[in-house]
Amino acid sequence: MTELELDGLVKRFGDVTAVNGVSLTVDAGSLVALLGPSGCGKTTSLRMIAGLEQPTEGDIRFNGESVLHLAPEKRNIGMVFQRYVLFPHMNVAGNVGFGLRMRGLPKPVIAERVAEVLDIVQLGGFERRFPSQLSGGQQQRVAIARTVITNPRVMLMDEPLSNLDAKLREEMRAFITELQKRLEITTVFVTHDQVEAIELADQVGVMFDGDLVQFGTPEEIFNHPKTPRIADFMGATNLISGTLLEKGSQDCVLESSVRKLRIGHVPEHAVGNSVLATVRPEHIDLSLPSETGDAVENAFKAEVSEAVYFGGTLSYRVRAGDFSLQVKDRSTRHFAEGEEVIVRIDPAHLWVFPEADTELHARA
Ligand X SMILES: Nc1ncnc2c1ncn2[C@@H]1O[C@H](COP(=O)(O)OP(=O)(O)OP(=O)(O)O)[C@@H](O)[C@H]1O
Residues that bind ligand X (CB under 6 A): 13, 16, 18, 36, 38-44, 192
- Residues 155 and 190: their CA atoms lie apart, in Å, by 11
C-alpha to C-alpha distances, 113 to 64, 118, 317, nearest whole angstrom: 30, 8, 56
225 touches which of Mg ion, ligand X, none (CB within 5 to 8 A by kind)?
none
Greatest extent of the chain over all pairs of C-alpha atoms, in Å: 78
Selection from 262, 313, 321, 260 nearest residue 286 by Cα: 313
**Dihedral of alpha carbons 207, 212, 218, 222, sign:** negative
In angstroms, give the least distance from the CB of 164 to ligand X. 16
40 touches which of ligand X, Mg ion, none (CB within 5 to 8 A by kind)?
ligand X
Taking the least distance from each CB to ligand X, the nearer of 40 and 244 is: 40
Taking the least distance from each CB to ligand X, the nearer of 13 and 87 is: 13
**Dihedral of alpha carbons 113, 114, 119, 122, sign:** positive
Taking the least distance from each CB to Mg ion, the nearer of 41 and 281 is: 41
The span of 37-45, 55-63, 181-189, 326-334 binding Mg ion (CB under 5 A) equals: 37-45
Query: Are the C-beta atoms of residues 264 and 347 closer than 8 Å to each other?
Result: yes
C-alpha to C-alpha distances, 255 to 28, 169, 261, 278, nearest whole angstrom: 45, 44, 7, 14
**Strand ordering across the sheet containing 65-66:** 16-26, 4-13, 57-62, 65-66
In angstroms, give the least distance from the CB of 158 to Mg ion. 6
In angstroms, give the least distance from the CB of 289 to Mg ion. 50
Taking the least distance from each CB to Mg ion, the nearer of 43 and 214 is: 43
Give SS3 for 6. Answer: strand
Q: How many residues sit close enough to Mg ion to count as binding (CB under 5 A)?
A: 1
Give SS3 for 20. Answer: strand
In angstroms, give the least distance from the CB of 19 to Mg ion. 12
Taking the least distance from each CB to ligand X, the nearer of 54 and 290 is: 54
In angstroms, give the least distance from the CB of 41 to Mg ion. 9
**Dihedral of alpha carbons 66, 69, 75, 81, sign:** positive
41 touches which of ligand X, Mg ion, none (CB within 5 to 8 A by kind)?
ligand X
Count CA atoms closer than 13 A to 138's CA, side-chain side: 16
262 touches which of Mg ion, ligand X, none (CB within 5 to 8 A by kind)?
none
Taking the least distance from each CB to Mg ion, the nearer of 2 and 43 is: 43
Taking the least distance from each CB to Mg ion, the nearer of 19 and 31 is: 19
- Residues 147 and 180: their CA atoms lie apart, in Å, by 12
The footprint of Mg ion on residues 39-98 (CB under 5 A) is 43
In angstroms, give the least distance from the CB of 10 to ligand X. 12
110 touches which of ligand X, Mg ion, none (CB within 5 to 8 A by kind)?
none
In angstroms, give the least distance from the CB of 33 to ligand X. 13
Per CB under 5 A, residues contacting Mg ion are 43
